Structure 1
Amino acid sequence: MSGRWIERWEPEDETFWQETGERIAKRNLLWSVISEHIGFSIWSMWSVMVLFMGPQYGVDAAGKFFLIGTATLVGSLIRVPYTFAVARFGGRNWTVFSALLLLLPTGFAYAVMEPGTSYGTFVLVAALTGVGGGNFASSMTNINAFFPLRKKGWALGLNAGGGNIGVPVVQLVGLLVIGTAGAMHPRLVLGVYVPLIVLAALGAALFMDNLAPVKNDTGAAKEAVRAGHTWIMAFLYIGTFGSFIGYSFAFGLVLQTQFGRTPLQAASLTFVGPLLGSLIRPVGGALADRHGGARITLGTFAAMSLATGVVIYASVAASLTVFLVGFVALFVLTGLGNGSTYKMIPAIFLTQGHRKGLTGEAAEAYGRRISGASMGLIGAVGALGGLGINLAFRQSFQTVGTGTGAFVAFLAFYAACMLVTWAVYLRRPASVASVPDTAAGAEPDRAPAEV
């Protein structure tokens, strides 16, 4: 090891793994989870800040939905460059930098979070919090390189789940502040996170490592972009993770706007759904391992459609109790779907390798290359679903004063996701239908793929 760079890294070598690799990988995983967790909290900060924005701020419900939608958009788009940053700068170096970068939106929000600030300033600061959304992509790319194939599912699941829980945690911090100091002190929430950001950056600097063998594979990235299944899975991930992050950002604001909850009442309920959705994500992956990712994903979208129907009924009937039951069920189901859809990706591209005539380790290596390259793009596109949800809520409240119209649109989208899942991955038993690459002249694959 030279400085914090590791020149030799062979996790598939059992002797290397037991003697050296496992200890180093777990240490890096710990600080990766911490950094990503805080990144998610900062990204979702405006789901809490809008609860503090009473009439004196002069921002209506549509304006608040636009603020959280702006944070979602930037956090989604920035995932693409963050995916490639690890190989370019080193996992440790980028984790330190990306953690310290979180001080920028947190500090600016601390400075401007008061009545009288212009709406344009709020939009700019909300956009800055999007850098927290990029941490997921770089963190997952980094941890994927540290662990052997047989351990990747566990490590990536822990990394993703630990990051997702940053959403309900910041909402719990907001609840604590509103419940103790009142709704006039949003800066207390921001003040809590400044030392935590510094701690995450310091821990990454002291205890994480860069892997010299990790290089950006531009060929794999180009092939992933051309692969039809990349875009199909991105569409499905819009329905699962896009719903999770979109609902997480909007839940409290919907409770305030449609059901007249006070900031304290909204904050006391907001964190429940994201918490359950985060905790259940590994269960979705485990069910996919046992029963097949496509089957679990299809069942999840069917159940999400039913839960959305419940929410529509509650919205029309103005029943808060039924609304909460349906909405929390949606969070749980999005968590299950997050796990099952991500489990589908490696299986799909492994089979694509078989279709190209590869066997054994060659097919597995191809599957790892293309699935790894595609996951960053799928994660970025999927997160854009959160923007769609918040824009739909904004339009619905602006037009009819309730979220009913938005929920009807979501129901139609989940029905489309069901149709795509069945048509592409289940229409032929346990197989993936052939999807031609988007490259001009590419021949469609002929053999079925197991998912």
Structure 2
Amino acid sequence: MASSVESAPQHGRWIDEWEPEDPRFWETRGRRVATRNLIFSIFTEHLGFSVWILMSVVVVSLPQAGITLSVSQTFWLLIVPNLVGAALRIPYTFAIPRFGGRGFTTFSALILLVPTGMLAVAVTIPDPPYWFFLATAAAMGLGGGNFSSSMANISFFFPTSKKGFALGLNAAGGNLGVAVTQFAVPLAISAGTGINLVNAALMWMPVIILAAACAWWFMDSLTSAKSDGESYAEAMREGQTWIMSVLYIGTFGSFIGFSFAFPTLLKALSDGRSSWVGAAFTGALIGSVSRPLGGWLADRMGGAKVTITVFGCMAACTYTTITGLAAKSVPVFFASSVALFILAGIGNGSTYRMIPLIFSAAVGTGSEPGRLDEAMKAARRKAAAAVGIAGSVGAFGGVAVNLVFKSSLESGSLQPALWSFLGFYIVCCALTWWCYLRKTVAIEWSPSLAYANV
């Protein structure tokens, strides 16, 4: 006779019983349903990133369309979507238990018609006011929140043993949206005669409608998906949460901040040569693909060891970027910047992998054997909350990156910004060593926990 979880009741695509930790349920039904939801979650999250980063490509072509902006105005158009996207990450996480994965994913896709519609208006009306461009950039930030809702939703579908791989695929698929936009939009706006900026908006609208339709018809909501405000409150009181948030600023903050700025920087340094600007997508592409590599390396070498190595290499690459800038060598600047994207992607994976291990190892050093299972479950909930907090703080790091670029370029040189980044990466190296690799604080592997060193 089929178990109750095998025939989990479903109403209006709400699933009432979901037991992914039950091997029989997972093999007979759970894997198929979870995989289907993961596929369409990646689609929608990917689209969210694509719209989130869209202004980074549009601003490069505004002068050719007769719209001239100052350095300050240009960078505010890059900063505002980053700021809004970062601010939305935590509320988007709590939306999944409230509205269901299917319903909220459909909504988060459809609402992307707002920024794309506003962009279509902004680039077609005569003498568009700057405030309307700012409002459009702010609306694009809606795409940045999709990461958190998508990650939260998928985390409920998979068993603990498979959650890391599923979330890694989900994150990497979303991050690839940056590269797709920076590759495809320049081709779209140059199609035909002259610069057709409206294509940068219109090309996404059918895809947005398709993503929303797929989410509505093929995704599910789980009644067992519950908000966990208590775990968030506990995670916010943990010093480890904020240490890891600082490290995530160095990895994801660098990735998303550089992604927003890279086309503009290449245009400025290459005197607008389209060959270099057109290659800007390379950094985000390789950085996105390298993210799962960071998690894989962390599983085998230890997350803290991978992370400290990443920050050391990022400091070295930043110095190379500075030398390329001093020599006025665009190829050196480009190559070292792409290396920074790769390292930031690896660091994204390794820092995310550290968080659950840190909280679990802390349980192993302070819990009574009889209460270990209960304590481990609480640690996993707290770690999941810490991941959400770090993700939001890391996105704010992208805002800081562009504020530093803006201030530096207004002073007449990019070098002060790069020196400040180099110093921050050295600080991250020291913080990683002090908190996780010193002999007096290093967390040893424990067979009873089945967790390796961080």
Considering the TM-score relative to the shorter chain, is it more than 0.5?
Answer: yes
Q: Which residue of 2 aligns with 1:223?
A: 234
Amino acid at match of 1:308: T
1:406 paired residue among 406, 417, 438? 417
Taking only aligned residues, the RMSD between alpha carbons, in angstroms, comes to 1.7
The reply on whether 1:3 has 2:15 as its aligned counterpart is no
**Scaled by the length of structure 1, what TM-score is found?**
0.93
1:180 aligned counterpart, secondary structure: coil
Q: Which moved more, 1:362-371 or 1:244-253?
A: 362-371
1:312 maps to what in 2? 322
Match of 1:14 in 2: 23
Answer yes or no: is 1:36 the counterpart of 2:48: no
Task: Report the Cα distance in structure 1 between the residues aligned to 2:373 and 2:29, rounded to whole angstroms.
Answer: 24
Per-residue deviation, 1:430: 7.4
Letter in 1 for 2:227: N
**Following TM superposition, by how much is the alpha carbon of 1:181 offset from its aligned partner in structure 2, in angstroms?**
3.4
Aligned partner of 1:379 in structure 2 is: 391
Query: Following TM superposition, by how much is the alpha carbon of 1:119 offset from its aligned partner in structure 2, in angstroms?
Result: 1.2
Per the alignment, residue 437 of structure 2 pairs with 426
Q: Confirm or deny that 1:255 pairs with 2:266.
A: yes
Aligned to 1:164: 175
Q: 1:355: how far off?
A: 3.8
Instruction: Flag the 1:182–1:366 CA change in 2: closer, same or farther, 3 A.
Output: farther
Q: Distance in 2 between matches of 1:368 and 1:144?
A: 12
**What residue is the counterpart of 2:294 in the other structure?**
284
Residue of 197, 200, 207 corresponding to 1:189: 200
1:36-80 per-residue CA deviation (whole Å, 9 max, x = no partner) reads 000000000111111111162121222111111111111101101
Distance 1:449 1:31 in 2: 33
Other structure's SS at 2:279 match: helix
Code of the residue aligned with 2:284 in structure 1: it is P
- Letter aligned with residue 314 of structure 2: M
How far apart, in 2, do the equivalents of 1:44 and 1:356 lie?
44
TM-score, length-scaled by structure 2: 0.93
Pairing 1:46-125 to 2, within 5 Å after superposition = 46-54=55-63, 56-114=66-124, 116-125=127-136
Secondary structure at 2:346's aligned position in 1? helix
What letter corresponds to residue 397 of structure 1 in structure 2?
L
2:338 maps to 328
SS in structure 1 at match of 2:127: coil
Contact 1:171 1:267 in 2 (8 A): no
Find the aligned partners of 2:420 and 2:127 in 1 and give their Cα distance: 35
Where does structure 1 lack aligned partners over 5 or more consecutive residues?
434-447
Specify the code of the residue in structure 2 equivalent to 1:322. Answer: V
Shift of 1:204: 0.4
1-side partners of 2:363 and 2:219: how far apart?
Answer: 34
Counterpart of 2:423 in structure 1: which amino acid?
A
Equivalent residues of 1:350, 1:366 under 8 A apart:
no
Specify which of 243, 246, 249 is matched with residue 232 of structure 1: 243
* Offset from partner CA, 1:190-215 (integer Å, 9 cap, x none): 11100101111100000000000111
Deviation at 1:358? 5.2
Give 1:266 deviation, angstroms.
4.0
Please give the alpha-carbon distance, in whole angstroms, between the structure 1 residues aligned to 2:277 and 2:188: 10
Which residue of structure 2 lines up, in the alignment, with residue 152 of structure 1? 163
**CA shift in 2, pair 1:380/1:58, >3 Å:** same
Query: Are 2:379 and 1:367 equivalent residues in the alignment?
Result: yes
Match of 2:184 in 1: 173
Deviations 1:6-43 (A, max 9, x none): 01111000000001100000000000000000000000
1-side partners of 2:189 and 2:33: how far apart?
41
Q: CA deviation at 1:121?
A: 1.2
Against the structure 1 CA distance between its residues 59 and 428, is the aligned structure 2 distance closer, same or farther, given a 3 Å change threshold? same
Larger CA deviation: 363-372 vs 44-53: 363-372
3-state SS of 1:78 partner: helix
Q: CA deviation at 1:392?
A: 0.9
Counterpart pick for 2:406 among 368, 371, 394: 394
Distance (whole Å) between structure 1 residues aligned to residue 218 and residue 172 of structure 2: 21
Counterpart amino acid of residue 16 in structure 2? E
Q: CA deviation at 1:429?
A: 6.9
1:246-303: per-residue Cα shift (whole Å, max 9, x none)?
A: 11110010011232123x3344211000000000110010000000000000000000
Distance in 2 between residues matched to 1:88 and 1:382, nearest whole Å: 25
1:333 and 1:29 mapped to 2: Cα distance? 26
Q: Provide, for residues 386-410 of structure 1, a one-character-per-residue CA deviation record: whole Å limited to 9, x for no partner.
A: 111111111111111x311111111
Q: Which residue of structure 2 lines up, in the alignment, with residue 437 of structure 1?
A: none
**CA displacement 1:364-400 (0-9 Å, x = unmatched):** 3122100111111110000111111111111111111
Structure 1 363/182 Cα, relative in aligned 2: closer, same or farther at 3 Å?
farther
Runs of at least 5 residues in structure 2 that lack an aligned partner in the other structure: 1-9, 445-450
Q: Partner letter of residue 217 of structure 2?
A: L
Task: Evaluate the alpha carbon distance shift between residue 386 and residue 18 of structure 1 in structure 2; reply closer, same or farther with a 3 A threshold.
Answer: same
**Partners of 2:432 and 2:194 in 1: CA distance:** 44
Shift of 1:356: 4.0
Partner of 1:203: 214
- Measured in 2, the distance between the counterparts of 1:181 and 1:72 equals 31
CA distance in 2, matches of 1:42, 1:339: 23
Residue type at the aligned position of 1:335: G
Retained in 2: the 8 A contact 1:424–1:432? no
Matched AA of 2:400: G
Aligned CA distance change for structure 1 residues 299 and 430 (closer, same or farther; 3 Å): farther
- Matched to 1:137, the amino acid is S
> Which of 333, 349, 354 is matched with 1:344 structurally?
354
